[in-house]
């Protein structure tokens, strides 16, 4: 019977995995990078470090950035923080970390995959305004109307998607106050979806919970397609 692989590595095993690409790496160097806050391995009850595959990849990134790009630890730490928050690190041509977003579509329409829980992206207010092109005052208005909500101290990927759409609509003279009806319509659609999946959520099995999530995403995607079809039909109606 095979023994399952451990979910963590000792510092010696990490050293062994890195040494092929970084011959000069030492245990002291790994400990130093930990003391600088670039990695945070867990500890066993007896105090030994436990490194995960994520810790190993972070170490590879740090060592490559030092060797190939000559980046100081301060910049590397800023880049790691950006990646932890779902951003692309600042590059030579762009000094500001930027979100990396993509939308899954089917025949040009949003798919159910777009309604999965949003990524772990975490943006400051300044980052959200910069990335979306939205004016700070408009963001304040959107928050007052409930279209955007800060989560703790950061804004998430959904906030960015909403802010970007509103910023682009503002080029046509559409202001945040004109968009309150969108929020009301979305709340009604959410209520309808919850009405459909509530019986599934009341069941105890994990299968029913997974099914409820799938149904929610499918109905959400269909509701957007229905909305788009209705708007197209209205715009193309003979005048």
State whether residue 9 is helix, strand or coil.
Answer: strand
* Residue 5 confidence (pLDDT) above 60: no
Domains of the chain: 11-84 (1.10.1660.10), 105-235 (no CATH)
pLDDT tier at 3 (50, 70, 90 boundaries)? very low
State pLDDT tens for residues 177-201: 999 999 999 999 999 999 999 998 8
State pLDDT tens for residues 44-62: 999 999 999 989 999 999 9
Interacting residues of 117 by C-beta distance below 8 A, sequence separation 6+:
none
What's the CA gap between 83 and 58, in Å, rounded? 10
State pLDDT tens for residues 157-173: 889 989 999 999 999 99
| Phi, psi dihedral angles at 109 (to 5 degrees) | -105, 155
pTM of the model: 0.64
pLDDT of residue 192: 93
Least trusted range by pLDDT, from 7-11, 109-113, 138-142 = 109-113
Name the packing angle between helices 27-35 and 53-69 (round to 10°): 100
State pLDDT tens for residues 207-219: 888 898 899 989 9
pLDDT of residue 15: 94
């Amino acid at each position: 019977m095979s023994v399952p692989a451990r979910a963590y590595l000792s510092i010696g095993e990490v050293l062994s995995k890195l040494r092929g690409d970084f011959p000069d790496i030492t245990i002291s160097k790994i400990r130093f990078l930990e003391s600088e806050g670039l990695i945070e391995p867990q500890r066993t009850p007896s105090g030994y470090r436990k490194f995960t595959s994520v810790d190993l990849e972070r170490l590879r990134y740090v060592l490559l950035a030092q060797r190939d790009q000559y980046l100081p630890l301060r910049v590397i730490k800023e880049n790691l923080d950006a990646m932890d928050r779902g951003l692309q690190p600042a590059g030579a041509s762009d000094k500001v970390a930027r979100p990396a977003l993509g939308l899954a579509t089917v025949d040009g329409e949003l798919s159910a995959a777009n309604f999965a829980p949003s990524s772990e992206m975490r943006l400051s207010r300044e980052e959200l305004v910069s990335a979306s092109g939205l004016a700070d005052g408009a963001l304040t208005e959107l928050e007052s109307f409930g279209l955007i909500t800060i989560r703790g101290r950061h804004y998430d990927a959904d906030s960015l998607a909403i802010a970007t759409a509103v910023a682009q609509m503002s080029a046509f003279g559409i202001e945040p106050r004109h968009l309150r009806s969108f929020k009301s319509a979305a709340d009604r659609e959410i209520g309808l979806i919850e009405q459909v999946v509530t019986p599934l959520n009341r069941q105890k099995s994990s299968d029913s919970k997974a099914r409820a999530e799938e149904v929610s995403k499918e109905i959400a995607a269909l509701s957007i397609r229905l909305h788009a079809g209705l708007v197209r039909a209205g715009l193309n109606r003979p005048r």
